[in-house]
Amino acid sequence: MEQEVAFVTEDKWMREEGGRLDATDRALLKEASNNGRVHVRVINIQEMLEAMRETEPKKYRSFQKEMEKQAGKRVTFEELVELGRKADERMKEFNEVVSPMTLGQAAQIRQWRVGGHMTWRSVAKAAFSENYYRYPGPTSNQIMGMALCEKAAQLFGENFREAPWN
């Protein structure tokens, strides 16, 4: 297998060995690997941009142009702020859904994520299966998993974006 593709995520347990992936996580990686014909290297956004800028400056510039093309135009600062605002609204919505979390539920979520190395999607699916929350949409929603981990970490005085959570 000579070809390699990068799969970019901020989820520690998608990047590090030993993570317990959800079926959706596995399907995404399988698709990225072209059904096993291409090696997939899982990295975070910063690693992707740094590697691209340093080793392939033309590709980096091309990537910037492609992002502009997908957006249909150069994204302005105001538009970035608006996108951030919309993302914040979704996270606030999910935070409200998980706000009644008990300490016992938080302990189980911490065990799944920290001890069990579950991805955010896997945490969301497991929590949904245990009736920890109800929300229409896919049960293995990555952002919902992040909201669950954020609330659980807060109950322990921790930060879900830092070790040992991520």
- Predicted TM-score (pTM) of the model is 0.70
So what's the pLDDT on residue 75?
63
Quick one: pLDDT at residue 164? Answer: 96
Question: How far separated are the first and last CA of the chain, in Å rounded?
Answer: 30
pLDDT in tens, the chain (166 residues): 468 888 888 899 998 889 999 999 999 999 999 888 899 999 887 788 788 878 888 887 777 777 677 677 776 657 656 766 777 787 889 999 999 999 999 999 999 999 999 999 999 999 999 999 988 877 888 889 999 999 999 999 999 999 999 9
Q: What is the pLDDT of residue 131?
A: 92
Do the beta carbons of residue 68 and residue 75 sit within 8 Å?
A: yes
Rg (CA), the chain: 18
The pair of three-digit structure tokens given for residue 93, joined into one six-digit string: 């919505």
Rounded to 10 degrees, the C-alpha dihedral 51/72/7/139 comes to 150
Phi, psi of 128 (to 5 degrees): -65, -45
